[in-house]
Amino acid sequence: MSTLLRIGARLIGFHGMNATLSAVLLLVMGCSRDSSSPSSNSATASDPATGKPTRSGPTPQPTGATPPGMVWIPGGEFTMGDNSAHAHMVEKPAHRVRVDGFWMDQTEVTNAQFREFVLATGYVSTAESIPKLEDIMSQVPPGTPPPPPETLVAGSMVFSPPARSVPLHRFDLWWHWTPAADWRHPNGPGSSIDDIDDHPVVHVSWDDAVAYTKWAGKELPTEAQWEFAARGGLDEKRFVWGNEPLSETKPRLNIWQGSFPVANTETDGYSRTAPVKSFAPNGFGLYEMAGNVWEWCSDWYRPDTYHLRAGQNLVVNPTGPESSFDPREPYAPKRVLRGGSFLCNDSYCSAYRPSARRGNSIDTGMSHMGFRCVMTQSAWNARTKNR
């Protein structure tokens, strides 16, 4: 659970909503519309004779055994970001990027898979851990009052729709700090994952996701890997399936239909998370790369990352900035999230587009956030060699 959200939720509960906390919740729970500034950890490639970008085609799928549950993403060159009117400033400017081939999980990591990890390691997730006051205070502006000691309990933020229409800037009216909410209890005490083993695990922080990847011998995708994979070979398209608009009668993904955040018509069949493989895969055979749950990436988040790459001909295998900085929340270290979630709605958030991006503090876990993994061929070779 985000330390910033923890203190925000507690202060809201004890002092009421104010403009500062409203901005905090906008940052952490909304769709970021930030602007930009410093340094990207990436490389460019150009022909020394002509100065023009070098180009390489897709990497053929390696022969031999395939990592279970993963598909080969061939890599190649694509346009990362979006310059169109519907894109947010953090998605601009669009620029050319090349990534090498890699393996990627076909689906988001499921409850069953995360349970296997926990049983094997005894891992305790962020949401199951009692927050430390010093961690909370290190991520908020000086002078912010500390939360009352009795509120420092394990838990997470759970989405709960209000009973009537509310202003869309009042995120506190549908997000609620819920003690004992965690990956095992996605909707708080009394809920369970007993019948939803095939749903994506939620309430996982970036730290939780990294712990899982290390156990699984995998990694979180870079932001560039994620976007290339999400596009499924369809370069410069608005959605993962192309440019065809959303359809209320033929849903392609799990998002919010109806009036957000009050009434979800559930035309897609789901009010919250959907089982993995509920919708058709993209061109690379990946499921739910749009909607369902936000997915963690490995990159540090900066709203100006793309501006820092301006003028580079071709960015090769970028791994993001060297550190995180968000001017509207300068004390919180953030990593990138991609893909949108079951709460996205055109009237509020269209972050299910493949170019959409946002940042969240690394100790944040919520009821609409999960992840999937990638693996290099060299890592797979090393694993099979040691068997």
Could you report the per-residue pLDDT of 135-193, keeping only the tens digit for each?
Answer: 889 988 999 999 898 889 999 999 999 999 999 889 899 999 999 999 999 999 999 99
pLDDT at residue number 2: 45
pLDDT greater than 60 at residue 44: no
Q: Is the dihedral of CA 69, 74, 75, 77 positive or negative?
A: negative
Q: What is the pTM (predicted TM-score) of this model?
A: 0.88
pLDDT at residue number 25: 42
76: Cβ–Cβ under 8 A, 6 or more apart, which residues?
Answer: 56, 57, 58, 59, 98, 99, 228
- Determine the Cα–Cα distance for residues 292 and 278; give it in Å rounded to an integer: 10
3: Cβ–Cβ under 8 A, 6 or more apart, which residues?
Answer: 131, 135, 136, 138, 139, 140, 332, 361, 363
pLDDT at residue number 364: 85
Could you report the per-residue pLDDT of 94-143, keeping only the tens digit for each?
Answer: 999 999 999 999 999 999 999 999 999 999 999 999 999 998 899 889 99
Domains and CATH numbers, the chain: 3-385 (3.90.1580.10)
Residue ranges of alpha helices (H) inside 185-293 are: 206-216, 223-231
Mean per-residue pLDDT, 344-351: 87
Q: Is 213 left (phi over 0), alpha (psi -120 to 50) or beta?
A: alpha
pLDDT at residue number 237: 97
Strands 70-73, 102-105: pairing is antiparallel
Cα end-to-end distance, the chain, whole Å:
37
Could you report the per-residue pLDDT of 253-297, keeping only the tens digit for each?
Answer: 999 999 999 999 999 999 999 999 999 999 999 999 999 999 999
pLDDT greater than 70 at residue 34: no
**Nearest partner of 28 among 334, 261, 262, 266, judged by Cα:** 334
pLDDT at residue number 387: 66
pLDDT at residue number 31: 39
Mean per-residue pLDDT, 183-208: 97
**Nearest partner of 359 among 273, 298, 291, 293, judged by Cα:** 298
- Report the mean per-residue pLDDT for the chain: 87
- Determine the Cα–Cα distance for residues 185 and 157; give it in Å rounded to an integer: 12
Residue where the block lists tokens 């090349």? 98
- Determine the Cα–Cα distance for residues 100 and 134; give it in Å rounded to an integer: 41
pLDDT at residue number 307: 96
pLDDT at residue number 347: 82
Which of 109-113, 226-230, 342-346 shows the lowest mean pLDDT across its residues? Answer: 342-346
